[in-house]
Chain A
Amino acid sequence: MRTVMTGNYASAYGAKAARAEVIAAYPITPQTSIVEKLAEFVSSGELNAKFIPVESEHSAMAACISASVTGARTYTATSSHGLTLMHEVLMWASGARSPIVMTNVSRAMAPPWSVWADHMDSVAQRDTGWMQFFCESNQEVLDTVLMAYKVAESRDVMLPAMIIEDAFILSHTSEPVDVPEQSQVDTFLPRYDPEMRLEIGRPMGFGSLVKPDLYMEFRYKAMKAMESSRERILKVEEEFRKTFGRSYGGLLDEYRCEDAEVVVVVAGSAAGTAREAVDAMNERGVPVGLARLRTFRPFPEDELRNLAKKVRGIAVIDRSYTFGAAGAFYTELCGSLFPLRERPVVKNYIAGLGGRDITPKIIEKIIEDIIDVSERGEDVEPEWVEVKGLDRSWQ
């Protein structure tokens, strides 16, 4: 069924197509229409699931974890303050090896209050053990919900997955979206059937106390699982492509990178704008490519290293900032490139915080700048793009 829908509805239709069995969620702008839609699906009987109207995001995640341990496919959605309130239980979810899928509508953190697009909330969860998929379009949101379940639930992974859609830019903007046939989805994504679950007649304790002699071993296994997810993501995407005819470029979605001399690295909806800018500049004979971080966890280290061998400059756009360091995409990318003998010039551009538009013009300026600094081969400080002064001296 091809229809026009927002990113939030794409999430909801994704969870419905995946036949999520337990949904626990708490409202927050701009996520609300996801849970409203799902509540509607459940109450009308279109989706056979339990909807738990929890009293907080912390409880939403805690309920999902226990439901998942009991053997249910679970879904939740949140944003910014809700996501950061969950921080403790996000770690619990990965430690419990619960393949929960969650949409985070990525939004700025207060203060200053802002309900608009910003990746701070998502980036701050990078150490929680969740896979993180940044989406560029509403279609990708829906498709990634389905793929994420399949990756998360595979026996070699068993880790939760976060689908990230940018506040308002995707969440509230309508685009044509193809809702896949249910029968095809059911074949692609069979019922969740975990090896172990909380079960009468099997008296076991899930998540018990471990001494220092074995704690590391359990963490090591989780690390291995996250590493396995790299292959699994590619395999699942290939299977998805064969079934539904769409794919998104694996962990690092490269666009016009073959002959590029410089590339722009960006995640989320700004990648769409970057594509246009890259096209326009190539028209003008500027050899520039786009590398979209589709996953931040696992981080596409190999892909970035291979790309870095071919270019002389990389512009990394971060829609968040790690105070005392730099943008997280930038620092992680630099870390990945460290083993290379020869490295391109890498510069960090902080842009689009709190919902500020990342326009084609901004991206073109960034590309011009990276060409310039990479020619000069200079060391560079992170640049806060088009940051202004405030007209209150005491601010």
Chain B
Amino acid sequence: MTPISDTPSTMNKTGLWRVIFPKVDEEKCRRCAICWKFCPDAAIQLVDGVPHIILDFCKGCGICANECPAKCIAMVEEGER
């Protein structure tokens, strides 16, 4: 057989690539889901409308922080969360 891939890519822990990390200020969050909408890796889960970053997969691109209209996501060094 030709190589047939059948395992969800969640087997790749791309979170290991991350050097900066999105820290969410849940108080300030307006629950607009804009961060979720623009995450290239579908690595944001909305819990009651508030973003929860899936650590295993977030590559730390920072799009969520850049796009958040409430400015409630800050990119911090990996160690600082």
Contacts and interface: CB of A to CB of B under 8 A. Distances in A.
Interface of A: 69, 95-97, 158, 195-196, 203-210, 214, 218, 221
Interface string B1-19: 1111110000000000000
Nearest to B7: A204
Contacts of B6: 203-205
B4 A158 contact: no
A204 B2 contact: no
Name A's interface SS: loop
Nearest to A208: B5
A210 B3 contact: yes
Nearest to A215: B3
Interface in B1-44: 1-6
A205 B6 CA distance: 7
B70 to A, nearest CB: 36
Interface residues of B, number: 6
B71 to A, nearest CB: 38
Interface of B: 1-6
B2 A96 contact: yes
A49 to B, nearest CB: 24
B4 A205 contact: yes
B2 to A, nearest CB: 5
B4 A218 contact: no
B8 to A, nearest CB: 9
Contacts of A195: 1
Nearest to A98: B2
A196 B5 contact: no
Given A204-B4, A208-B4, 8 more contacts: A195-B1, A196-B4, A204-B5, A204-B6, A206-B4, A208-B3, A214-B3, A218-B3
A64 B73 CA distance: 50
B6 to A, nearest CB: 5
A196 B3 contact: no
Contacts of A209: 3
A359 B4 CA distance: 51
B1 A207 contact: no
Contacts of A158: 1
Nearest to B1: A97
26 contacts: A95-B2, A96-B2, A97-B1, A97-B2, A158-B1, A195-B1, A196-B1, A196-B4, A203-B6, A204-B5, A204-B6, A205-B4, A205-B5, A205-B6, A206-B4, A207-B3, A207-B4, A208-B3, A208-B4, A208-B5, A209-B3, A210-B3, A214-B3, A218-B2, A218-B3, A221-B1
A214 B6 CA distance: 16
A195 B1 CA distance: 10
A28 B32 CA distance: 60
Contacts of A96: 2
Identify which of B2, B3, B4, B6 gathers the most chain A CB atoms within 10 Å of its CB.
Answer: B2
Closest 3 interchain pairs by CB? A205-B5, A208-B5, A204-B6
A199 B1 CA distance: 16
Contacts of B5: 204-205, 208
A19 B29 CA distance: 62
B9 to A, nearest CB: 10
Identify which of B3, B4, B5 gathers the most chain A CB atoms within 10 Å of its CB.
Answer: B3
A95 to B, nearest CB: 6
Contacts of A218: 2-3
A182 B6 CA distance: 39
A85 B1 CA distance: 25
A218 B2 CA distance: 7
Nearest to B6: A204
A153 to B, nearest CB: 13
Contacts of B2: 69, 95-97, 206-207, 218
